[in-house]
Amino acid sequence: MKLYDVYDDSCPSRTALRLIGDRWTALVVGVLAERPHRFGELRRRIGGISQKMLTQTLRALERDGLVSRTVLPTSPVMVEYELTPLGTSLVGPLAAIRFWAEDHIAEVLRARESISQSRAG
């Protein structure tokens, strides 16, 4: 018997699916797979993410055990984020999705254009 079923609307695994299906999660995990980063480094590396969205994404990833936050004993205080072992287990699957997006975006755009033209004409 299967303990969790993501197709069941009351299954708690849906929470994890929502988190890992978020575009910002995929990008933050991808950057943190390289090495630990400070907040500003992450924000500069991930084009288009607002401070608010990065903060929310990092908090959610930390809450769910995918990212650890370390306050460094410096002056001024610096904070560094890195993947936990659980977060590292997501690197491969999320990389596959990012690579798929890059490899197939031309086809997706052509399909969109084709549909737009057929509906307009």
Whether residue 2 lies inside any domain: the answer is no
Whether residue 61 lies inside any domain: the answer is yes
Whether residue 6 lies inside any domain: the answer is no
> What is the value of pTM for the model shown?
0.87
Query: Which phi-psi region, left, alpha or beta, contains residue 112 (left: φ > 0; alpha: ψ -120 to 50)?
Result: alpha
- Asked whether residue 116 carries a pLDDT value surpassing 90, the answer given is no
Cα angle: 99, vertex 101, 106; to 5 degrees:
120
Q: How many CB atoms lie within 10 A of CB 69?
A: 13
Summarize pLDDT for 30-79 with one digit per residue, the tens: 999 999 999 999 999 999 999 999 999 999 999 999 999 999 999 998 99
Quote the CA–CA distance of 38 and 16 in Å, as a whole number.
24
Quote the CA–CA distance of 14 and 22 in Å, as a whole number.
12
State the residue range of the domain holding 62.
13-120
Whichever domain contains 44, its CATH number is 1.10.10.10
Domains in the chain, number: 1
- Confidence band, pLDDT 50/70/90 cuts, at residue 1: confident
